[in-house]
């Protein structure tokens, strides 16, 4: 019986084991299914991110061939995904910087993974690439994120161009204000005929003018350091301690006024061979920054030492410090740690940017360490011997020529394909217009900051001048009164430039909305003509008004239209020779009201006529052309006309004269209405 029961027990045991195995397999299956679902969701999430990210993403195998790319990258290179897969990345991104960066990163994984690229196909673009290594077992490759920074760099170039024009143009009236003020002060030193109050007012004018001059010089210095064709002033040998002491002496009075101690610890044996002007500029900005942000009674230390053919230069203070989130951004142009409306220290926020650019030109680096309410230390590491950049410049020029030649060949091959893509490009116009609006807002904010900083010293000078005129100008000699009149006129010219910037910024940002009302055009023209007639008389020019009495625009912005008329007349006066004739006329033409100014000036060549409506347009070098201005006048006229739903007109013949004006619809509602 026992022998018969044995097989039955074995079968039961096998059954129980099989049942347990089945249950275990079911649990494993359920767990694996859940993991597969999680992986599927993760894959879908990553695929969605990969496809929708605005930056171009491209995946490479270990031989630098493309295995995958997202929509943004496909649009960037203007090819299809099928055309890209399997191609070498250096055949798609025609740039000399990418492949060496990949090879360098493959050899040294700790090397920097960011690189700036210049793309020449299908059009020239500036790109910024972030490179990451992919490695899992035997599978290796790369993923590259590419951002198109062409528009940003173009905006930066336009910003620098504006700064260069504005700063150099403001020098003319500012130089006159300071010059005439100093002559007035010097003449009083001989005659002593000014009262104590008048001396104080004159001192206020000089202080305001000097403050404005510092701002302008900061703009000029920033523009010079930002220009692409920058050249060293002169590489010379000098004793570092002497340069530090002389630079500190320039700012010692500013430190003394705040009861700040300036202490210098520099080895007198350290010598450098470098561009001393760049080093002086960087050091000046760092010391000035320390003075601005150190509280009264504080201390600033400047220490220099030599380590292995390098100079370590530190500027330390026990000031208010810098928040850690701002340490990465303080070197950006126009960056302000404190809010623009609440900060305690004036300035444009260019000092540290100038310092970094100067140090870069010297072949060095600059770093910062700061603790809030404890202090800040800027450290400069500079080579004792700066190498000449002539060879580098020639190499850069040759590379640019090669790039231009290659680009021309690419243009010829791709014309047909680009033509087929025009339809797709047209669908992108709405997005581009949105981006341009955002760029205009950034530009408007930038102009507002500069205009605000320039207005403040102008206001202090004007107040001092008005007070000066109010009290006791009778005691002045005729030549002193003439100096005062010249000072007032040049101050007025400079203020007009600043007002033009403010108007331009408000129109760009669309914050200066139209204040619609009935506008008596004849009165606007009479008022503007009366304001500019003295300028025309000084130039012996005839100013003729041809306007029907009672001519009225039913709906318009009186102030904006007045500004447009002022710029038209002022432009004609500037570019007309002595004893010329200028005629302003206004009349109705069908459904439009036309305002035009005719002159007998130099005229505008046909190929230059479209440019005159552009912002900051200068048809010739400001020094050679003999007239001042920011190149904003006619751009403002165009903006005013377009804001009213109208347009501008221009007819000109070189050597004969020009007719420039704008037409406004007599009856229409405007988008810019309040």
Give the residue-averaged pLDDT of 428-435.
Answer: 52
pLDDT value, residue 416: 47
pLDDT value, residue 422: 52
pLDDT value, residue 305: 92
Decide: 262 and 302 in contact? Cβ < 8 Å. Answer: yes
| Selection from 643, 670, 529 nearest residue 662 by Cα | 643
The answer, yes or no, to whether residue 575 has pLDDT greater than 80, is yes
Question: What average pLDDT does the structure give for the chain?
Answer: 76
**Taking the CA atoms of the chain, what radius of gyration do you get in angstroms?**
34
Decide: 388 and 377 in contact? Cβ < 8 Å. Answer: no
Give the residue-averaged pLDDT of 29-55.
Answer: 75
Q: What angle do CA 5, 7, 10 make, to 5 degrees?
A: 110
Q: Could you tell me which residue, 561 or 22, shows the higher pLDDT?
A: 561
Give the residue-averaged pLDDT of 235-256.
Answer: 90
Q: How far apart are the first and last CA of the chain?
A: 109
pLDDT value, residue 380: 92
pLDDT value, residue 341: 44
Give the residue-averaged pLDDT of 512-541.
Answer: 87
pLDDT value, residue 671: 46
| SS3 label, residue 185 | helix
**Of the spans 85-94, 158-167, 419-428, 429-438, which averages the highest pLDDT?**
85-94
pLDDT value, residue 421: 54
Decide: 576 and 541 in contact? Cβ < 8 Å. Answer: yes
For 648, which DSSP code? Answer: E
State phi, psi for 302 to the nearest 5 degrees: -120, 115
The answer, yes or no, to whether residue 295 has pLDDT greater than 80, is yes
Beta bridge partners of 239: 271
Enumerate residues 6+ apart whose C-beta is below 8 A from 597.
Answer: 568, 569, 571, 572, 582, 583, 584, 585, 659, 660, 661
For 384, which DSSP code? Answer: S
Least confident piece of the model among 32-41, 323-332, 411-420, 459-468: 411-420
In whole angstroms, give the CA distance from residue 206 to residue 208.
5
Least confident piece of the model among 100-104, 279-283, 360-364, 556-560: 100-104
DSSP collapsed to 3 states, 585-643? EEEEECCEEEEEEEECCCCCCHHHHHHHHCCCCCCCCHHHHCCCCCCCHHHHHHHHHHH
Q: How many CB atoms lie within 10 A of CB 14?
A: 10
Q: Is 234 exposed, middle or buried, given 0-12, 13-18 or 19+ CB atoms closer than 10 A?
A: exposed
In whole angstroms, give the CA distance from residue 288 to residue 319.
12
pLDDT value, residue 357: 84
State phi, psi for 314 to the nearest 5 degrees: -120, 135
Least confident piece of the model among 41-45, 55-59, 182-186, 272-276: 41-45
| Selection from 267, 230, 275, 241 nearest residue 385 by Cα | 275
Per-residue confidence at 594, pLDDT binned at 50, 70, 90? very high
pLDDT value, residue 386: 78
The answer, yes or no, to whether residue 308 has pLDDT greater than 60, is yes
The answer, yes or no, to whether residue 149 has pLDDT greater than 80, is yes
Paired tokens of 423:
């339809």
pLDDT value, residue 419: 47
pLDDT value, residue 244: 93
Give the residue-averaged pLDDT of 536-548.
Answer: 89
The answer, yes or no, to whether residue 672 has pLDDT greater than 50, is no
Q: Is 228 exposed, middle or buried, given 0-12, 13-18 or 19+ CB atoms closer than 10 A?
A: exposed
**Of the spans 29-43, 248-262, 473-487, which averages the highest pLDDT?**
248-262
For 388, which DSSP code? Answer: P
pLDDT value, residue 607: 80
| Selection from 279, 302, 174, 170 nearest residue 225 by Cα | 279
The answer, yes or no, to whether residue 158 has pLDDT greater than 90, is no
**Of the spans 464-478, 577-591, 656-670, which averages the highest pLDDT?**
577-591
In whole angstroms, give the CA distance from residue 585 to residue 649.
13
In whole angstroms, give the CA distance from residue 275 to residue 227.
17
The answer, yes or no, to whether residue 604 has pLDDT greater than 80, is yes
Packing angle, helices 558-574 and 633-643, rounded to 10: 150
- Buried b / exposed e over 102-120, threshold 16 CB at 10 Å, is beebeeeeeeeeebebbbb
Give the residue-averaged pLDDT of 418-431.
Answer: 52
Enumerate residues 6+ apart whose C-beta is below 8 A from 365.
Answer: 359, 380, 381
The answer, yes or no, to whether residue 256 has pLDDT greater than 50, is yes
Strands 56-61 and 66-69: antiparallel
Per-residue confidence at 447, pLDDT binned at 50, 70, 90? low
Enumerate residues 6+ apart whose C-beta is below 8 A from 112.
Answer: none
Distances (CA, A) of 34 to 23, 24, 28, 440: 17, 15, 10, 51
Give the pLDDT confidence of 451-478 residue by residue, as tens digits: 556 666 666 677 777 777 776 666 677 7
| Selection from 286, 324, 319 nearest residue 304 by Cα | 286
Q: Could you tell me which residue, 114 or 641, shows the higher pLDDT?
A: 641
Give the residue-averaged pLDDT of 79-105.
Answer: 84
Give the pLDDT confidence of 177-221 residue by residue, as tens digits: 777 778 777 777 777 777 777 778 778 887 777 777 777 777 776
pLDDT value, residue 400: 52
Strands 375-383 and 365-371: antiparallel
Give the residue-averaged pLDDT of 52-74.
Answer: 87
Beta bridge partners of 371: 375
Q: Could you tell me which residue, 628 or 58, shows the higher pLDDT?
A: 58
Decide: 517 and 652 in contact? Cβ < 8 Å. Answer: no
């Amino acid at each position: 019986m026992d022998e018969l029961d044995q097989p039955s027990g074995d079968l039961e045991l096998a059954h129980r084991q099989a049942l347990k195995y089945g249950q275990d397999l079911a649990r494993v299956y359920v767990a694996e299914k859940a993991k597969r679902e999680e992986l599927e969701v993760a894959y879908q999430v990553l695929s969605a991110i990969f496809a929708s990210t605005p930056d171009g993403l491209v995946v490479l195998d270990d031989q630098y061939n493309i295995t995958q790319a997202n929509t943004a990258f496909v649009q960037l290179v203007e090819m299809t995904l099928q055309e890209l897969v399997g191609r070498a990345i250096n055949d798609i991104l025609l740039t000399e910087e990418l492949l060496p960066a990949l090879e360098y990163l493959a050899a040294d994984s700790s090397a920097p993974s960011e690189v700036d690229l210049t793309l020449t196909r299908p059009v020239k673009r500036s790109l910024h690439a972030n490179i990451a290594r992919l490695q899992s077992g035997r599978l290796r490759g790369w993923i590259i994120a590419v951002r198109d920074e062409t528009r940003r760099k173009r905006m930066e170039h336009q910003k620098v161009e504006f700064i260069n024009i504005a700063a150099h143009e403001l020098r003319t009236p500012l130089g006159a204000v300071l010059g005439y003020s100093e002559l007035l002060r010097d003449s009083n030193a001989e005659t002593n005929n000014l009262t104590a109050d008048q001396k104080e007012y004159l001192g206020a004018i000089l202080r305001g003018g000097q403050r404005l001059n510092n701002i302008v010089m900061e703009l000029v210095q920033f523009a010079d350091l930002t220009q692409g064709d920058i050249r060293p002033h002169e590489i010379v040998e000098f004793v570092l301690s002497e340069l530090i002491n002389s630079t500190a002496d320039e700012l010692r009075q500013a430190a003394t006024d705040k009861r700040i101690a300036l202490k210098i610890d520099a080895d007198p044996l350290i010598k450098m061979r470098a561009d001393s002007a760049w080093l002086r500029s960087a050091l000046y900005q760092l010391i000035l920054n320390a003075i601005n942000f150190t509280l009264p009674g504080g201390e600033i230390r400047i220490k220099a030492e030599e380590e292995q053919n390098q100079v370590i230069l530190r500027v330390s203070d026990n000031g208010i410090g810098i928040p850690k989130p701002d340490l990465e951004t303080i070197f950006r142009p126009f960056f302000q740690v404190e809010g623009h409306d609440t900060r305690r220290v004036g300035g444009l926020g260019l000092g540290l940017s100038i310092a970094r650019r100067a140090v870069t030109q010297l072949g060095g680096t600059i770093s910062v360490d700061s603790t809030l309410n404890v202090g800040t230390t800027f450290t400069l590491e500079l080579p004792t011997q700066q190498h000449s950049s002539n060879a580098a410049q020639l190499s850069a020029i040759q590379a640019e020529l090669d790039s231009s030649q290659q680009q021309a060949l690419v243009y010829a091959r791709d014309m047909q394909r680009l033509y087929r893509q025009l339809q797709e490009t047209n669908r992108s116009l709405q997005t581009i217009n949105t981006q341009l609006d955002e760029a205009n807002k950034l530009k408007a904010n930038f102009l507002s900051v500069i205009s605000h900083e320039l207005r403040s010293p102008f206001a202090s000078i004007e107040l001092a001048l008005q007070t000066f005129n109010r009290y006791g100008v009778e005691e002045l000699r005729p030549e002193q009164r003439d100096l005062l009149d010249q000072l007032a006129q040049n101050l007025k010219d400079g203020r007009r430039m600043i007002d033009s910037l403010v108007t331009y910024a408000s129109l760009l940002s669309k914050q200066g909305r139209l204040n619609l009302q009935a506008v008596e055009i004849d009165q606007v023209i009479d008022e503007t003509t009366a304001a500019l007639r003295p300028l025309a008389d000084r130039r012996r020019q005839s100013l003729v008004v041809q306007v029907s009495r009672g001519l009225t625009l039913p709906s318009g912005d009186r102030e904006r239209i007045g500004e447009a008329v002022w710029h038209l007349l002022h432009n004609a006066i500037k570019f007309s020779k002595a004893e010329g004739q200028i005629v302003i006329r206004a009349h109705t033409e069908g459904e439009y009201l036309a305002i035009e100014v005719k002159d007998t000036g130099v005229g505008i060549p046909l190929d230059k006529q479209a440019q005159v409506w552009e912002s900051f347009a200068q048809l010739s070098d400001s020094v050679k052309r003999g007239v001042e201005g920011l190149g904003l006048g006619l751009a403002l006229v165009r903006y005013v006309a377009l804001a009213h739903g109208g347009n501008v007109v221009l007819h000109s013949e070189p050597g004969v004269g020009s007719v420039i004006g704008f037409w406004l619809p007599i009856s229409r509602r405007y988008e810019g209405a309040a």
